[in-house]
Chain A
Amino acid sequence: MRQHPETSPADTFRIEELETILASSPLAIVTTDLDGTVTGWNPAAEELFGRTAAEMLGTQVPSGPQLFWPHMREDVARLEDGRSVARELRYARRNGRTVDLNLAAAPIRHQGELTGAVAIFTDVTERKAAQAAVAVRLRQQEAAAGFSHGALVHTDVAELLGEAVTIVAETLEVEYAKVLELLPGDAGLRLVAGYGFEPELIGTARVGEDSQAAFTIHSDGPLIVDDLAAETRFHPSPLLTSHDIVSGIGVAIDGSDSPFGVLGAHSTSARAFSEDDLTFLQTIANVTAAALRRLQADAELERRVEQRTAELRAANDELEAFAYSVSHDLRAPLRALDGFSLALVEDYGPRLGDEGQLYANRIRAAAQRMGDLIDDLLTLSRLTRKEMDRTRVDISALARQIGEELRRVDPDRDVSVEIEEGLVAGGDDLLLHAVLQNLLANAWKFTSTHPRARIEFGSAQIDGERVFFVRDDGVGFDMNYADKLFTPFQRLHTQDQFPGTGIGLASVRRAVGRHGGRVWADAAVEHGATFWFTLPERTT
């Protein structure tokens, strides 16, 4: 500070106070006159710029030895206009390190006249570095999140790994990134995805058991290489050296039993990778490992579904062959039983006597019944094997047509058949025909001992679900046996009471089941029976 000629004791005190402030300030404070001559340079400035006050006082800004205030003229002009000055600067120190500075400048006035400027410099190098690190970390987290999202939907391993290496290279700003897959045995590793590498290398290039990648897999944490040429822990593979790679980092990608391989990022210049860089790379490797496990599980599931489908198809083919052989081979002996019994009666009747003829006729009746059973079983089997052919079926019309047919065959009975109009359901025409045919024929049969009968086909809403029903006022049955109704060959009446094979309701259950529906019954002895069934509408 320059001394003015007339200074009062109070002024002297004031000057000393200011000089103490300047000397003890942690902020670099520099004063200049209007020409840019440095008039003040405090110890913090000496520290920050690495120049002593003796060196700097009297030098010109900005033409002095160090360009610490490049825009000084401009800034003084701003101050003259009464505007404020705040700048961010970068300053190269004598030792080559650069520092980031914030500059704030204020005018110095003497008796209202602008005589100079004071510039206050703050070292913000650390803060800036921290901000930059945060920005990098944010970018890496964003990239990792984006990759994770994509990894959930990828269905192709090559695509997934390709995306992994691209995101690693772009985010870490390196020239090369790669995934090496660990080969079984001692076969080393193979390049399965690469960024920066020639496309023909991918899928073919291999590295040995003594390579950086192999070393990465066998070491517990991430591997950092500062200078490949100086490396002693492993033998750099030609894959790296041929691409002038200097430094890099690598992490293992976990597999289900053994590691899947290695994810690496490589730079052709010396580069110090940060803790964040490693975390990022590890995150990508972990996500990749999880996605690979998912893809493997998917593939396994698919394989199992295929296997199960093949088994089902084989079972179905077997069933088909069985049905064919039933239809053909089981009939032939029956025909012989029946034919020869008849031949016996016709050709040797007198010698058989009445009882002998009766026996022969019973053989024929039994053969005939077995033939009916075979026919019904085949029908049941056909209901199972038949391909579903879904359409909109007018089941009211179907029921009416079956009712008319029943009446035509048995015209003497007094039966009123009431059918609700306009019932339509989605389903297979033939299967639905089998359902209604069996239920209505049953209703017709089990009312036959009553002089008058009423059969009803309709629908109802039960718990919000549409339910169809066939109701009769016939002999009904004991609900204690209701669970046997839908099982093949199970009957609740003797042949003499009501003939039948016990296949009809099993067929109904199968046909309804193939539509995703249910069937059940309620009844009381001599108070009729109601058979309910559902045909869920398909939503897909």
Chain B
Amino acid sequence: MEEEKRIMLVEDNSDDVTLTLRALKQANILNEVVVAHDGVEAMELLEDASRPLPTVVLLDLQLPRLSGLEVLQRMRDTDRLRRVPVVILTSSREEQDRLRGYDFGANSYVQKPIHSGEFLEAVSKLGMYWLLLNEPPPPVEVDPQ
């Protein structure tokens, strides 16, 4: 009955992908991580009905093609994706980004720390919280159209 919990990481920077995956591994979070390297790929993966929805999306903001905020907007405009928890994980601490992130329906906003120790801790806490502590929304029944 219990569905396999998985993380979607939307991140164009391969360094950050590697470091994030390593941090999750170090925190003993061994769930599947689906990586999308830009906004368009992220939407394709999310909209593919044959794929199970991620338990949480870790979303970078500055992405090629479709930006993180645009991905977030589209998710919130799509019935099936409306309630999927989204954590904005970005280098930016700009007020504008934070405002719009929450306005568009982000569930959390985390600035990537530069310090590796802090980064490890942040990723580990995020994994723990969203995979173990947080109760995900119930699955949505979508009319096939």
Contact at A328–B19, with CB atoms within 8 Å?
no
Residues of chain A within 8 A (CB-CB) of B124 are: none
Query: Do A331 and B116 touch across chains, with their CB atoms under 8 A apart?
Result: no
Q: In the complex, what residues of A have CB within 8 A of residue B91's CB?
A: 327-329, 331-332, 335
The verdict on A336 contacting B115 (CB below 8 Å), with A327-B91, A328-B92 known, is: no
Q: Does B116 contact A339, Cβ atoms closer than 8 Å? A: yes
Determine whether the beta carbon of B15 is less than 8 Å from that of A340.
yes
Cα(A344)–Cα(B115), bound, Å: 15
Among A329, A338, A343, the residue within 8 A (CB) of B114 is: A338
- How distant is B14 from chain A, measured CB to nearest CB, in Å? 9
The distance from the CB of B118 to the nearest CB of chain A, in whole angstroms, is: 10
Considering only CB atoms, which chain B residue lies closest to A331 in the complex? B91
Query: Which residues of A are found within 8 Å of B112, using beta-carbon distances?
Result: 331, 335
Chain B, 46-68, contact with A by CB distance < 8 Å: what is the 0/1 string? 00000000000000011000000
Assess whether B62 is in contact with A328, with CB atoms less than 8 Å apart.
yes
Q: Which residues of B contact A331 (CB under 8 A)?
A: 91, 112, 114
Contacts of A339 in B (CB 8 A): 15, 19, 22, 116, 119
How far in angstroms is the closest Cβ of chain B from A240?
Answer: 66
Instruction: For the complex formed, measure the closest distance between the CB of B99 and the CB atoms of chain A, giving whole angstroms.
Output: 14
Chain A residue at minimum C-beta to C-beta distance from B23: A339
A364 touches B116 (CB 8 A): yes
Residue of A nearest to B93 (CB): A327
* B115 cross-chain contacts in A, Cβ below 8 A: 338, 368, 371
When chains A and B are docked, how far (Å) is the Cα of A448 from the Cα of B15? 39
1/0 per residue, CB under 8 A from A, across B5-36: the answer is: 00000000101100100100000000000000
On chain A, the residues within 8 Å of B92 by CB distance are 324, 327-328
Pair B19/A336 contact, Cβ less than 8 Å: yes
A367 contact set on B, CB distance < 8 A? 114
How far apart are A371's CB and chain B's nearest CB, in angstroms?
4
Report the bound CA distance from A343 to B21 in whole Å.
12
The answer for the CA separation of A364 and B15 in the assembled complex, in Å, is 15
Chain A contacts for B93, CB-based, 8 A: 327
Question: Smallest distance from the beta carbon of A429 to chain B beta carbons, Å?
Answer: 16
- Cβ–Cβ < 8 Å partners of A342 in chain B: 116-117, 120
Residues on A with beta carbons closer than 8 Å to the beta carbon of B61 = 328
Instruction: Give chain A interface residues in 309-339, CB to chain B under 8 Å.
Output: 324, 327-329, 331-336, 338-339
Q: Are A335 and B22 in contact (CB under 8 A)?
A: no
Task: Let me know if B135 is at the binding interface, CB within 8 A.
Answer: no
A341 at the interface (CB under 8 A from B): yes
Q: Which residues of A contact B22 (CB under 8 A)?
A: 339, 343
Find residues 94-145 in chain B having any chain A CB closer than 8 Å to their own CB: 94, 112-117, 119-120
Q: Give the complex CA separation of A483 and B62 in angstroms.
A: 40
Name the interface residues of A357-409: CB closer than 8 Å to any CB of B.
364, 367-368, 371
- Cα distance A329–B113 in the bound complex, in angstroms: 13
A313 and B120 CA atoms in complex are apart in Å by 40
Complex contacts, A340 vs chain B, CB 8 Å: 15, 19
**Is B90 an interface position by the 8 A CB rule?**
yes
- Further pairs besides A335-B91, A339-B119: 6, Cβ < 8 Å: A328-B90, A331-B91, A331-B114, A335-B15, A339-B15, A339-B19
18 A-B pairs with C-beta separation under 8 A: A324-B94, A327-B92, A327-B94, A328-B61, A328-B92, A331-B91, A331-B114, A335-B15, A335-B19, A335-B114, A335-B116, A339-B119, A340-B15, A340-B19, A341-B116, A342-B116, A343-B22, A364-B116
